[in-house]
Amino acid sequence: METDRLIEGVVKIRGYMRCGKTASMVALAVNEISLGHYTPDKVISNVSIPSYGIVQKRNTEIIDFLARMKEDQLRGWLILIDEADQLFSHRGYSSKQQSQVLVNVWQAMKLDNMIIYTMHEGLGVDLIFRDATLMSLLPEIVGNKIVIYTIDGRYGGEPYLLEIAPASEVFKLYNTKEAVY
Strands (E), 36-130: 43-45, 78-81, 114-120
pLDDT given at position 130: 86
Mean pLDDT of 42-51: 98
Cβ atoms of 45 and 36 closer than 8 Å: no
Output the furthest CA–CA distance in the chain (Å, rounded): 46
pLDDT tens, position by position, 133-170: 988 999 999 899 888 888 876 555 566 677 777 889 99
The H-or-E segment that residue 97 falls in is helix 96-105
The H-or-E segment that residue 130 falls in is helix 127-132
Q: Domain-by-domain residue ranges, the chain?
A: 10-171
Cβ atoms of 27 and 146 closer than 8 Å: yes
Looking at per-residue pLDDT, the higher value among 131 and 100 belongs to 131
Cβ atoms of 54 and 48 closer than 8 Å: yes
Q: How many of the other CB atoms lie within 10 Å of CB of 112?
A: 12
pLDDT tens, position by position, 9-24: 999 999 998 899 999 9
pLDDT of 2 over the 60 cut: no
* Helix locations, the chain, DSSP H: 21-34, 59-68, 84-87, 96-105, 127-132, 167-171
pLDDT given at position 3: 55
pLDDT tens, position by position, 55-75: 999 999 999 999 999 999 999
pLDDT-above-70 percentage for the chain: 89
pLDDT tens, position by position, 75-94: 999 999 999 988 887 766 56
- Fold observed for domain 10-171: Rossmann fold (3.40.50)
Distance CA 161, CA 35 (A): 19
Name the residue type at position 164.
I
Distance CA 18, CA 28 (A): 17
Helices 96-105 and 59-68: crossing angle in degrees, nearest 10, is 70
Mean pLDDT of 117-122: 88
Instruction: Give whole-number Cα distances, 22 to 94, 154, 172, in Å.
Output: 28, 23, 12
